Amino acid sequence: MPPARPLSLVTGASAGIGTAFARELAARGHDLVLVARRVERLEALAAELRERHGGAVAVLPCDLADPAAPDRLCGELERRGLAVDWLVNNAGYGVPGSFVANAWRTHADFLQVLLAAPTELAWRLLPAMRARGYGRIVNVASLAGFVPGSAGHTLYAAAKAYLVKFSQSLALENRAAGVNVCALCPGFTWSEFHDVTGTRAKMDRLPRFMWLTAEEVARQGVAAVERGKVVHVTGRVNRAIKALAELLPDRLALALSARESKRYRQLEE
C-alpha cells in the first residue's frame, strides 16, 4: 500500500515538465523534494506548493552535471530522514550543433545529466523502495528515442533511447517488489527547452496540433506509472509517429530524418 503522503523527488523541477510534475504530484497529496540548479525558481515553486496544497516541500539545489551530485543528494536525503517513494528523473536539455562543433566537456556534462545521474539515482533509491514494497520511478525519455537520430542534436535521441531500454529492464526486475517503472516519452512540449537551445523560431513553424502542454505530459506520466505501464508515448500524434517510424525501412526513415534536421535543427560546424 502507498503511504498516506508519498514523498516524490523531482529532478529538473525549476521549469517545464519538471515543474508540471511537481504541481501534479502536490495536488495528489504528495510531499516533495525539488532538485535543480536554479535556487530562486525552486524556492518560488516550493512556496507556491506549500501555500496551495499544504504539504512539505524540500528544496535541494543540485547540479547533476557533477558526477558526485547523486551521492551527495542521497546523503542529504538520508541525513534529513527523507525516504523517497517516487523518483521522477526529468532533468535534461539539448546540445545544438554538430557533434564536433561542441567541446568534449559539453558532451560529458550532457551524458552525466541525462544518463549517469538518473541511472545512479535509481540505483541508490531502489533498495529502500523494494524493502518497503512500494515505489514509482518515472524516467522522462522522449519520442526521439524511437525515431532515427537527427543531425544537430547528436546525443539526444541516443540518450533517450537508453532511458527507454533502462526503464524496461528496471520494470521487469522490480514489478514483483511493488515498484513500477515507466519511461515517459513526450513529443513536442511547450516549455523553455527550445528557447535554451536557440531553436524556438524554427520549432514554431510546426503546426500547433503537434504540441502538448507540460501539464498534460505530467498528468499522463503520473497516470501511466500508476497503471503499471512501462513505456508511455504522450498524445495520439506522437504514437502515430512512433508506429510509422517502426514500419518504415531504415533507409527511408533516415532520409526523412535528414530532411527534417535541415528544417528544425542547428547544424553549424
Is residue 241 a contact partner of residue 257, using CB atoms and an 8 Å limit?
no
Give the C-alpha separation, 97 to 203, whole Å: 15
Give the C-alpha separation, 263 to 239, whole Å: 22
Closest Cα to residue 231, out of 155, 135, 144, 138? 138
* 93 catalytically annotated: no
Classify residue 147 by its DSSP letter. Answer: S
Closest Cα to residue 90, out of 122, 66, 68? 122
* Annotated catalytic residue, options 93, 134, 156, 264: 156
Closest Cα to residue 181, out of 226, 144, 143? 226
Would you state the cell numbers that stand for residue 196, as one nine-digit string? Answer: 535554451
Q: Which residues are catalytic?
A: 156
